[in-house]
Amino acid sequence: MGLGVRAAPFTYVAHALAVVAAAMVLYWCIHFRGGLAFEAANKNLIFNVHPVLMLIGFIILGSEAIMVYKVLPTVNHDTTKLIHLILHAIALVLGAVGIYCAFKNHNETGIANLYSLHSWLGIGTISLYGIQWIFGFLAFFFPKAAPNVRKSALPWHALLGIFVYILALATAELGFLEKLTFLQSSGIDKYGPESFLVNFTALVVVLFGASVVVAVVAPARLEEPQGYAPIPEN
């Protein structure tokens, strides 16, 4: 049973919330946390790259890859498939760099790695993301599986993609919570502007993710053209 609504309005909301979330995380890391750097005497600047890349590079770009079929419903399927593939590849690379910055910060400051649920889910999420990308490339792009195999695999590929996306959102929420807990335990005001900014950023990310998921499961058109198929038989 369909939702009875088109995807387009939810893609508009998602894009608006993406801009807000990106601006908020940049403002937090630059204004409150001192800026971004890959090399710095202040190792916190290295860590600051992590939330910026994981949100903007991994989650937001990944969301654009997921929504591309609904954002560009009239564009040739092969073109949107290529955009989908490229955006996911960029998101995967930026996510890997973001995780590298977290490890780099920990290693250079003597903090243990992979001790929290956030870190465990993060490694699991990006690993599943990479597996999804490789499978999608081989099955749907090159060398490309037989049409009947692609037709059977597509629903599972889409379902696992939504699962990994929701897992990424949950991991991000745990990351905001973990970082804010550390900051508050080290002295920042629990009711101060930075605490409110981090909490509101996390709320915006929840709303953003929800709008993306609805956009993905809602049809681009209330009635698909006759003979339309996401994976052509020929």
Q: What is the DSSP string of 196-229?
A: HHHHHHHHHHHHHHHHHHHHHHS-SSSSPPTT--
Cα(78)–Cα(24) distance, integer angstroms: 35
Q: What is the pLDDT of residue 164?
A: 98
Q: What is the pLDDT of residue 2?
A: 60
Which stretch of DSSP H or E encloses residue 74?
Answer: none
- Could you identify the residue written with the tokens 């052509």? 232
Local structure of 43: helix, strand or coil:
coil
Q: What is the pLDDT of residue 58?
A: 97
pLDDT in tens, 57-90: 999 999 999 999 999 999 999 999 999 999 999 9
Residue type, 61: L
Q: What is the pLDDT of residue 4?
A: 75
Residue 218, sorted as left (phi over 0), alpha (psi -120 to 50) or beta, turns out to be beta
Q: In Å, how far from its chain's centre is CA 49?
A: 15
Torsion of CA 121, 122, 128, 134, to 10 degrees: -170
The CA distances from residue 124 to 54, 128, 171, 181, 198, in Å, are 14, 6, 10, 23, 24
Residue type, 180: L
Residue type, 10: F
Q: Residue 109: name the closest of 166, 41, 53, 177 by CA.
A: 41
Q: Residue 174: name the closest of 205, 143, 147, 144 by CA.
A: 205
Q: What is the pLDDT of residue 229?
A: 53
* Residue ranges of the chain whose pLDDT lies below 70: 1-2, 222-234
Domains in the chain with CATH codes: 7-217 (1.20.120.1770)
